[in-house]
Amino acid sequence: MNDKQIIASRIAMELKDGDLVNLGIGIPTLVANYVPEDKEIIFQSENGIIGLGADKGEDCSIVNAGGMKASICKGGAFIDSATSFTFIRGGHIDITVLGALEVDQEGSIASWIIPGKLVPGMGGAMDLVTGAKRVIIAMRHTNKGKVKILKKCRLPLTAFKQANLIVTEMCVMEVKKDGLHLLEVNPAYTIEEVMNATDAELIIDEVKPMKGIENENNA
């Protein structure tokens, strides 16, 4: 498994039967590949699908939120953007999985702008992290060695104190009221290596081996 697969496979274990889930572009999209067959997860796509499915090569006009061809599952619905954000902002999405440029130990997220360099815009991300019941950040632990998990985000925020769980190729961390807890570490790394790659203060009680790494299901 490569880094992206490790992250996606671990996050898939967080999804519960019947959850309505929005996956962002990039690593988050891969999470759908690791959902076990006995779980029914309904994916929402913010451009207007309840019941998003993978592209089946059919001749249609269905796209996902990245503008790529997609399909709709049986029992699904096409919706307009206002209804889509009624789901998102109104608290009807169980889990949203997104990438980030930076996250901090309070759960603040930066993902939409590097001033003077890159300005892609926030798209639906600000609404998703504000409104979803649970926010999971899926990202590489560092940006080619540069720390991304900080005491305080430096880049302009996407949202203030909204992340619940952070999953990287190195570890799983949970944002709680008292700070950022290190829950699981990939056995390929030591706790010291994780700490060296992290600027945030990690609260370390009982650390378990990171789950999902051996799971080659559907990979």
Active site residues: 46
How far apart CA 73 and CA 175 sit, in angstroms, is: 33
Among 3, 4, 13, 85, binds another protein (CB under 8 A): 85
- The amino acid sitting at 198 is T
Q: With contacts defined by CB under 8 A, name the span among 93-101, 154-162, 181-189, 201-209 that binds another protein.
A: 154-162
Give me 211's structure tokens. Answer: 């789950």
Among 51, 53, 156, 179, binds another protein (CB under 8 A): 156
- The amino acid sitting at 196 is N
Contact status: 2 vs another protein (CB under 8 A): no
Q: How many residues touch another protein (CB under 8 A)? A: 41
Nearer to another protein, 18 or 90 (CB): 90
Q: With contacts defined by CB under 8 A, name the span among 14-22, 63-71, 132-140, 194-202 that binds another protein.
A: 63-71
How far apart CA 10 and CA 168 sit, in angstroms, is: 9
DSSP string computed for the chain: --HHHHHHHHHHTT--TT-EEEE-SSHHHHGGGG--TT---EEEETTTEEEEE---S-SS--B-TTS-B-EEEEEEEE--HHHHHHHHHTT--SEEEE--SEEETT--EE-S-BTTTB----TTHHHHHHHSSEEEEE--SEETTEE-EESS--SPPSBSS---EEE-SSEEEEEETTEEEEEEE-TTS-HHHHHHT--SPEE-S--EEPTTSS--TT-
How far apart CA 175 and CA 201 sit, in angstroms, is: 11
Q: With contacts defined by CB under 8 A, name the span among 2-10, 96-104, 116-124, 140-148 that binds another protein.
A: 116-124
Contact status: 113 vs another protein (CB under 8 A): yes
Nearer to another protein, 137 or 183 (CB): 137
Residue 102 pairs in a beta bridge with 110
- Residues 159-198 as x/- pattern, contact with another protein by CB under 8 A: xx--------------------------------------
Nearer to another protein, 143 or 218 (CB): 143
Q: With contacts defined by CB under 8 A, name the span among 6-14, 135-143, 150-158, 189-197 that binds another protein.
A: 150-158
Among 6, 8, 27, 49, binds another protein (CB under 8 A): 49
Among 81, 196, 217, 218, binds another protein (CB under 8 A): 81
Judged by the rule CB under 8 A, the positions of this chain that interact with another protein are 45-49, 60-63, 65-67, 70, 72, 78-82, 84-85, 88-89, 112-113, 119-127, 130-131, 156-160
